[in-house]
Amino acid sequence: MKKTIKKSFALVLATAMLLAIAAPAMAAVNMDTAVTVDGLMAGDAYKLYQVLTWNQTAGEWQLATGFTDLTGNTTVFPADNDDNTNRAQEVVAAIVNGIDQTEADAIAAMTAAATGAPATKATGTIASGDSSFSYTVASATDTANLGLYMAVITAGTPEYVYNPVFVSADFDDNDSNAINAGTATYGTGIAKRQHIELTKTTSDTDEELQTAINSYVGQEVTFDVNTTIPVFLDSYKNPSFVIKDDIETDGINLNADSIEVTLGSGATAKTYAKTAADGKVAYDSDIFSVTATGGNNGEYTVTFKNTWLAGNVTAVPVHIQYKGTITNTAAFNLNEDDNTVTVTYANGPDEEKAAMRDRTNHYTFSIGAKAVGQESDNGKTFELVKVGVDEDGKPVVQKKQVSAWDTTTERHPLAGATFGLYTDANCATPYTNSLYPDGATFTTTDDGVITFKGLAAGNYYLKEISAPGGYVKDERIVHIEIEAHYQTQTVADTEENGIKIKGYTVDTLDYYKVKVNNVSVYDSQNDKYGALPASQVVETQYSFNHDGPHTTTMTTTTTHDSDLTNTQGVELPSTGGMGTTIFYVIGGLLVLAAAIVLISRRRVQQ
């Protein structure tokens, strides 16, 4: 009797998978039959297994070699009759009539067995520019390989995890390979993959950038890590999912006790903490373990248990939150303090692994400190230099020997002037951070440079608190603005220890400016200091290029780039030097004494 194939199609693991395979007719055809898996990406590796095969002699579908153990799985494929006769055909009938998620998992699990795994019918890697592979399973004269196939795929792109793909191959009786089975494509399965995402931000993120990358020393920053654990089907020999967060510099102090892990979202979310309190529960050893090293260069690792991952049937959102403090040893200016989170996970059935990565950077800034936050390189920057002047605004010049040949140079920076940094225009509120717990003050040395560091970008106000001996204190208030400009940096894909790591983007410092107004500037033509017009701002810009840090100084309201490598400071004079006043007083006393002597002589002569 001639038997006719009614339907044949392939679906990926999703909801319920239907596969209706009737007995094929052995009508003569003029073309080969192939199974095709589509929806793949370049670099994906695949293994193709045959699950069902057609036995022409018996005239029935049978389990292919390597899948016969399915007959003993009465939990997934329960017997239809009490005496369990013809068990193999009952399992086959269950597969032919439609595969649900549990049955598909059981079939896929056969490929992950440590021993006795089914032999692959085809293996390969998707070439660049391709998105599918095909395998010829039968011809007009060869029908033994007709049946149900399963492709197990390892993602070549790190951020994906694939589900196994089921696809069937058989003949119909109209001498062609076309069928009419709804919207299904004959002989083609569409690969379905789970996309793993990873983001690391701070709780202070606004619409434009991560504001917490602009930090001050002593600031406590809250970090957020978000990702999703995929469903690892039973085709995975060793499902794994590990989150590691590494603070790579001394500038951030990790609070190991602050780490909280939230699984799920919405009303079903559950938060785990080191100590159960406020509705949180202690870390659950049946789901994951946490190891953490606090302090500078701290790190933590959250490792999810293999048994929990293997039994998990839905994707699970993960949110990790912890706190870190910007320390006194933080880098400043063009240097950064950063910390990097890496998620490493199984992305293939044979214990292949891939990883995702993301990073946050943190910057603190300075006035008049080292350009790249080092103690020896690149010299100081000279945003503000204290000088001494006389009543006419002319520099009070000092002589200093600079070599063994008694060569001298004229200098006019002034030592011994003490300044305070404030947060308000009236200089009523001293600026504080952990470097300056009692208020930020600085007393100049011989170079006259006014230095404050560990600052966040923003507005500050400078006022002289006391002048050195013989000078009058400058009562003016100087407005200083630190302006940071960030850019998005793209970090390329990489590979470490054989594990492919997906690239990421991160906000990094492009350049920063120090702007100073309400000061006096040097007039070289008249050799004196004059007032800066209110419409102008002295602006110093710091940036990186191929040959190191550059500074650009300009007195303008217009911003532009320059290749100048000089540094120039805004010089703040101390007006009304007391030295000349003393000479005036002494001169007056001498004149008075001379007058008294003259009058006395005249009286004597009289």
> Looking at 49-53, 169-173, 262-266, 523-527, which range is the least confident one?
169-173
Structure tokens at 182: 């709804």
pLDDT over 60 at 233, yes or no: yes
Q: What is the mean pLDDT of residues 392-419?
A: 68
Q: What is the mean pLDDT of residues 383-403?
A: 72
**pLDDT, tens only, 180-214:** 222 233 467 777 888 898 988 886 544 333 444 77
Give me the torsion for CA of 439, 442, 443, 445, rounded to 10°. 160
Q: What is the mean pLDDT of residues 99-113?
A: 82
Structure tokens at 48: 């193709």
**pTM exceeds 0.75 for this model:** no
CA-nearest of 141, 135, 196, 203 to 169 is: 135
Query: In 10 A of CB 457, how many CB atoms?
Result: 22
Q: What is the mean pLDDT of residues 308-315?
A: 87
pLDDT over 70 at 121, yes or no: yes
CA-nearest of 399, 17, 30, 365 to 178 is: 30
CA distance 406 to 477: 40
Cβ pair 157, 41 in contact under 8 A: yes
Res. 546 pLDDT band, cuts 50 70 90: very low
Element of type H or E holding 489? strand 477-491
Please provide the DSSP assignment of 13-80 as one string.
SSS-B-----PPP----SS-EEEEEES--TT-EEEEEE-EEEETTTTEEEEPTT-GGGGG-TTTS--S
Residue environment code for 189-203, b if the CB has 16+ CB neighbours within 10 A, otherwise e: bbbebbebebebbbe
Burial class (CB in 10 A: 0-12, 13-18, 19+), 182: exposed
The single-letter DSSP state of residue 119 is: P
Which parts of 98-212 fold into alpha helices (H)? Answer: 101-109
**pLDDT, tens only, 5-44:** 222 323 333 323 333 333 333 333 334 577 889 899 999 9
CA-nearest of 196, 304, 198, 292 to 247 is: 292
Res. 564 pLDDT band, cuts 50 70 90: very low
Q: What is the chain's alpha carbon radius of gyration, rounded to the nearest angstrom?
A: 39
CA distance 318 to 301: 14
Q: What is the pLDDT of residue 242?
A: 96
Cβ pair 323, 220 in contact under 8 A: yes
> Looking at 393-407, 423-437, 454-468, 511-525, which range is the least confident one?
393-407
Q: Which comes out higher in pLDDT, residue 26 or 48? A: 48
Q: Categorise residue 299: left if φ over 0, alpha if ψ from -120 to 50, beta otherwise.
A: beta
**Residue matched to tokens 């991952």:** 309
Cβ pair 220, 187 in contact under 8 A: no
Between helix 101-109 and helix 87-97 the angle, nearest 10°, is: 120
User: What is the percent of the chain with per-residue pLDDT over 90, rounded to a whole number?
Assistant: 22
pLDDT over 70 at 173, yes or no: no
> Looking at 25-29, 80-84, 180-184, 405-409, which range is the least confident one?
180-184
Cβ pair 441, 466 in contact under 8 A: no
**Residue matched to tokens 């208020």:** 439
Q: What is the pLDDT of residue 262?
A: 96
Q: What is the pLDDT of residue 597?
A: 54
Q: What is the mean pLDDT of residues 314-324?
A: 93
Q: What is the mean pLDDT of residues 311-323?
A: 91
Residue 548 sits at φ, ψ, to 5 deg, of 110, -175
